[in-house]
Amino acid sequence: MDYVVTPPAVVAIPVVGQTARFPVHRIYCVGRNYAEHAKEMGFTGREPPFFFMKPADAVVAVEAGQTGSMAYPTLTGNLHHEIELVVAIGKGGKNIAAADAHQHIYGYAVGLDMTRRDLQNEMKKQGRPWCIGKGFEQSAPIGPITPAAQAVGVEQAEIALQVNGQDRQRSTVAQLIWSIAETIEHLSAAWELQPGDLIYSGTPEGVSAVVPGDTLEGSVAGLESLSIRIV
Ligand code: MN
């Protein structure tokens, strides 16, 4: 096949225990999925889950044991970290019942939903889309994917983020308002999930700003951790 411009490279993430990689199709993100984070963003009560997307090439895939780098983005003075458990979809489907959701999961990883908070807040105020606050280059750092069979208990695990060695976020995945299975049920009612999709499942409380030179260490107990430096 000939193309009129160079086709984009496949975005791919390392997988624990094998050389083959996980190719990324779409990146879905869940908004306000931990009660204490919803409160710090000014919301209370259980609302239906809602979603936004990032482009696949927003991924910064960091190898096990390495520290990746993310360029401080343009147009912002308030770049926030959001540590999240990421679900990697292995089998597609639509209208997936929560009871069947785990059959569609390939594995799990530690991810960061990096956010230009000042731009997101301005878009919220104006009732405009969040894309400029959420879907920019390098906004989705992620560590290696652990296959589901080796990630037992991950949906109750401790999740944490340290910046320069200091705790910023610490909670457990058990605190999710909408569980991973419920999230897949809602998401697959709106979009047909495909192998290669990633779901950033939401962040606990403690989001705050980072600046160039900061090193972020994200963890979910039982998964490979994620280390990235802002440059
Ligand atoms: Mn998020």
* In the chain, domain spans: 12-230
Give the pLDDT confidence score for residue 19 in this predicted structure. 97
Q: How far is the CA of 82 from the centre of ligand 1 (A)?
A: 6
pLDDT at residue number 44: 79
CATH of 12-230, one of 3.40.640.10, 1.10.357.10, 3.40.50.1000, 3.90.850.10: 3.90.850.10
Walking along the chain (231 residues) 10 residues at a time, the average pLDDT comes out as 95 97 98 91 85 98 98 98 98 98 98 98 97 98 98 97 98 97 98 98 97 98 98 98
Query: Does pTM surpass 0.75?
Result: yes
Ligand 1 centroid vs 208 CA: distance in angstroms?
Answer: 12
Q: Which of 54, 226, 195, 65 is nearest to 138 (CA)?
A: 54
The alpha carbon torsion through 124, 126, 128, 130 (nearest 10 deg) reads -30
**C-alpha of residue 86 to centroid of ligand 1, in Å:** 10
Q: Where are the beta strands (DSSP E) in 18-129?
A: 18-23, 27-30, 51-54, 59-61, 67-70, 79-80, 83-89, 105-112, 115-116
**Gap from CA of 6 to ligand 1 centroid (Å):** 32
> Residue 231's pLDDT is what?
98
CA of 196 to the centre of ligand 1 (A): 19
CA of 142 to the centre of ligand 1 (A): 13
Using CA atoms, how far apart are residues 13 and 87, in angstroms rounded to an integer?
Answer: 12
Distance 213 CA to ligand 1 centre (A): 22
Cα(28) to centroid(ligand 1), Å: 10
CA 115 to centroid of ligand 1, rounded, Å: 8
